[in-house]
Structure formats: C-alpha cells, structure tokens
Amino acid sequence: MKNVHLQICDEPESLSRSAAEHLVHVAGEAVSQRGRFLVVLAGGNTPRRLYRLLTTGPFLERVPWQVTHWFWGDERCVPPDDPESNYGQARALLFEHAPAPETNIHRIRGELDPQQAAADYAQALRRFADPGLLWPRFDLVLLGLGADGHTASLFPGSPPDPGPDTATLVVTAAYAGRPTQRITLTPRVFNDARHVLFLVSGAEKAEALAATLEGPHDPVRRPAQRIHPSHGRVTYLVDRAAAALLKQHGEER
C-alpha cells in the first residue's frame, strides 16, 4: 500500500509506549492548532496496554484531558458494563484512573437496538462536524487488525462503501467468539481523519499484516486496505512477531 508509514517495535510493551507517544504528540498539535483533540479508540486486546499507560507517568500529565474528546471506531452490541463492551474496557483501564470529563466521552450505546444505536452515534458525530461534513475530521484514529484482515467492524466480504452521508453501519460478523452484532464507523469517516494509527501485535497477525500491506489490492477480502486517509497519514505500529512475514523493514525502534 502506498503512503503508509511502517514502524516496527521489539515487543508489545515498546509498541504501546510508541503509541502513547504518538497520541500525546498528535494531541499537542491538535490543541495548539484547533483548541481540542478528537480521538477515536479501538476495541480488542491490543490497545489495553496503551490505555493503562495513558493513566501513568509522563503520559497522564501530557494528555490534555479537559479538551480531549473520546470516540470509538466500533462497538459490540452489548451494555456498557458487559465485559465485551469496547467502551467498558476503556472505562475500566483508562477513564476510571484519569481526569477525563464525562461530557467528553462519546460512547456508542451498544445496549440500544442496533439501528437506533447507529443513528444515535451518527447524531453525536454531527455535533462535532467539520464544515461540509456530517462528522469531524478526527485528529487521531486508533485501529486494530484482525487475523482475518478486518479492522474496526469492517469484515471481509462486507458491502462496499454506503452513500456519502453514511457515518455508521450495523454489522453482523463472527470473530474469535466475540459478540456478532456491532456498530462501526464507515471507511469514509476513517479516511477523513488527520492521523490513523494501526496497532498490530502477535504472530497470529503476521499473515494478515503482510497481505494487507504487501498483497494485491483486494479490499473486500482485506478490509484494512480500505483505510487510506485522503489528506491524512496512516501509520502501522507493529511488533516484531506481527512483522515476521513482511518484506519491507520499516523504521525500527
């Protein structure tokens, strides 16, 4: 894939530290230019260390909590206190240990009827919309990569981009025993972001990562290939195990 920045870290710990550095750097830039920082969080296990790190040491002081607004790229259709809730995970690891104002947390309401949850979230995005858009140009989007090539809840075989005004979709897909009903942002919303940061860790991701970055263009089978911001920058922050099948070497850390 073109215009993709690849950074390879030794192991998950240094990957998470680099992700935290990236987040506070982009946050500083966003606040100095626009007075606020709009960030989209990912679900899944990979960002768990990052969320914990943000509540400790230098990062806790460097996140501009009062002007940071937290969103999600996808959510499983479960209540917020369900162990499978992406919001619930961030709440437990991050928000309960940090001074994030409640009014700055914009979760997807997985406990609602899925269509209603998608509409409710699209409405929330409109309140932050950039001129000419129905959603904000996010400053930073965090994404994961599934071993099947999915990202957020854009799964292999999912339909092509919906209409230009559609910010959210209801999806049904099975993966790793996780809840099958989900809400996701559309590629269009991700691709309007200023920075997209994929976090990819572990040998079980090696094949999907190599196919996404170095395989033929096949966004139906490899949905992460749908993410290529038109005016933004995409970075794959990966550990050595995930990078094992890549031909390119990227920037080593």
Residue 120 Cβ, how far from ligand 6PG at the closest point, in Å? 18
Number of residues that bind ligand 6PG (CB under 6 A): 14
Taking the complex as a whole, the smallest distance from the CB of residue 154 to ligand 6PG amounts, in Å, to 8
Out of 44, 110, 232, 250, which residue is the one contacting ligand 6PG (CB under 6 A)? 44
**In this complex, which beta carbon is closest to ligand 6PG, that of residue 100 or of residue 197?**
197
Q: Which one, 6 or 65, has the nearer CB to ligand 6PG?
A: 6
The nearest distance, CB 182 to ligand 6PG, in angstroms, is 7
* Interaction between residue 152 and ligand 6PG (CB under 6 A): yes
Least Å distance, CB 51 to ligand 6PG, is: 12
The reply on whether position 144 binds ligand 6PG by CB under 6 A is: yes
HEC profile for the chain? CCCEEEEEECCHHHHHHHHHHHHHHHHHHHHHHHCCEEEEECCCCCCHHHHHHCCCHHHHHHCCHHHEEEEECEEECCCCCCCCCHHHHHHHHCHHHCCCCHHHECCCCCCCCHHHHHHHHHHHHHCCCCCCCCCCCCCEEEECCCCCCCECCECCCCCCCCCCCCCEEEEECCCCCCCCEEEEECHHHHHCCCEEEEEECCHHHHHHHHHHHHCCCCCCCCHHHHCCCCCCEEEEEEEHHHHCCCCCCCEEC
In the complex, which residues of this chain contact ligand 6PG (CB under 6 A)?
42-46, 74, 76, 86, 144, 146, 150-152, 178
